[in-house]
Amino acid sequence: MTKIKESSTNFANKQILANDCPEVFAANIIGGQWSLAICCYLINGSLRYNEIRKCLPNITERMLTLQLRKLEESGVVKRTVYAEVPLRVTYELTVIGYELSPIIRELGKWGKKLKGLSI
C-alpha cells in the first residue's frame, strides 16, 4: 500500500472529491477490500490479531497491520492493549464503527443480488 505524493494532482483531486462528497469520504475510510472485510468480522465482537488473520487467510501480515492502523486512525476500530504476559491486544469496532453494521449488511444483500445476476 503506497502513499500518494501530497504534491501530486491525483492527491489534490482525491482531496477535493472527498471534501465535496461525503459518500466518497466515507468510501475512502472503508474503501479497501480488506478494511471492509475486517469490519465485517468485527461486527460480531472484538478479535485478537491472529483471529482476524484466521478469518482472512489471504491477507499478508503487513497489509493487515496497515489496514488496522488506518481503521484505528479513522476512529472506526479501537485497539486495546492488556498489560499481561504475554501481551494481549484486541481490536473492536468503535461506536462509529458499529454504525456501519446496517450499511455492511445492505452491501452484502446488494452483492448477493449482483452475484446472482452473474455480472
Q: What is the pLDDT of residues 52-108, one digit of tens each?
A: 999 999 999 999 999 999 999 999 999 999 998 888 999 999 999 999 999 989 988
Task: Provide the residue type at 60 as one letter.
Answer: T
User: Right CATH number for 10-117 from 1.10.10.10, 1.10.510.10, 3.40.50.2300, 2.60.40.420?
Assistant: 1.10.10.10
Indicate the length of the chain as a whole number: 119
Domains of the chain, residue spans: 10-117
**pLDDT, tens only, 5-21:** 777 787 777 777 767 78
Please check the confidence at residue 1 and state whether its pLDDT lies above 80: no
100 CB-near residues (< 8 Å, 6+ apart) = 30, 39, 43, 76, 93
